[in-house]
Amino acid sequence: MLRAIYPGSFDPVTYGHLDIIRRSCKIVDELVVGVLNNNAKMPLFSVEERVKMLQEVTKDLKNVKIVPFHGLLIDFAREMDAYVVIRGLRAITDFEYELQMSQTNHKLEPDLETMFLTTSIEYSYLSSTTVREIATYGGDVSQFVPEEVRIALKEKMKTKGVYNKYE
Ligand code: PNS
């Protein structure tokens, strides 16, 4: 049985992430979406909120589970008994960081392999960072994230006194 991990911050999950999740779960038997719990990164959404959003938007996928993790990815992979990591590559700008990360992980855990899926062209520009920025200024994020995430962003922004200009 092939179990793989798709790790990330998912702050918040976008259509780009979902594209990688949907395509990956056709390739592997079980996909563990690992949600990094790292408060040093000062996420907009708590790890519980990010896990909940991911659960909602993947509920139709039978071989996907969402699991929070902290610490090293190699330790999480061992804990999950998964020796394949999946990452999405959007553009050449992602390559340097991804190469460094996969080579470091491979050095630390030689049994761990990283597989890259190139992001579908329609999502190649998309990132959680830009989604957060648009939402921070009250912009419309409906093209970039599923409806559940759009609503969660709207509610989060309301707590910060930001109101969507497009409703
Ligand atoms: O969505 P992101 O922020 O690009 O995901 C980055 C992530 C979570 C995959 C990466 O930061 C990670 O694996 N963090 C865990 C800590 C770790 O193992 N670091 C060493 C890898 S070089």
Tens digits of per-residue pLDDT, 90-139?
988 899 999 999 999 999 999 999 999 999 999 999 999 999 999 999 89
Q: How far is the CA of 9 from the centre of ligand 1 (A)?
A: 8
Yes or no: say if 21 and 58 are a contact pair by the CB < 8 Å rule. Answer: yes
As for ligand 1, residues whose beta carbon falls within 6 Å of it are 7-9, 36, 72-73, 101, 104-105
For residue 88, what are its two tokens?
């999405």
Yes or no: say if 45 and 36 are a contact pair by the CB < 8 Å rule. Answer: no
Closest residue CA from atom 19 of ligand 1: 72
Q: How far is the CA of 55 from the centre of ligand 1 (A)?
A: 20
Q: What is the rounded CA–CA span in Å between residue 30 and residue 21?
A: 11
Q: Give the model confidence (pLDDT) of 62-83 as tens digits.
A: 999 999 999 999 999 999 999 9
Q: Give the model confidence (pLDDT) of 23-34 as tens digits.
A: 999 999 999 999
Centroid of chain to Cα 156? 19
For the chain, how many residues are written? 167
For residue 161, what are its two tokens?
């006194």
Q: What is the pLDDT of residue 41?
A: 79
Q: What is the pLDDT of residue 17?
A: 97
- Mutate which of 17, 21, 36 for ligand 1? The one with the most ligand atoms within 8 Å of its CB, which is 36
Q: Which atom of ligand 1 is nearest to the CA of 36?
A: 8
Q: What is the rounded CA–CA span in Å between residue 101 and residue 99?
A: 5
Q: What is the pLDDT of residue 92?
A: 86
For residue 163, what are its two tokens?
């109101």
Q: Is residue 166 scored above 60 in pLDDT?
A: no
Q: What is the rounded CA–CA span in Å between residue 145 and residue 40?
A: 25
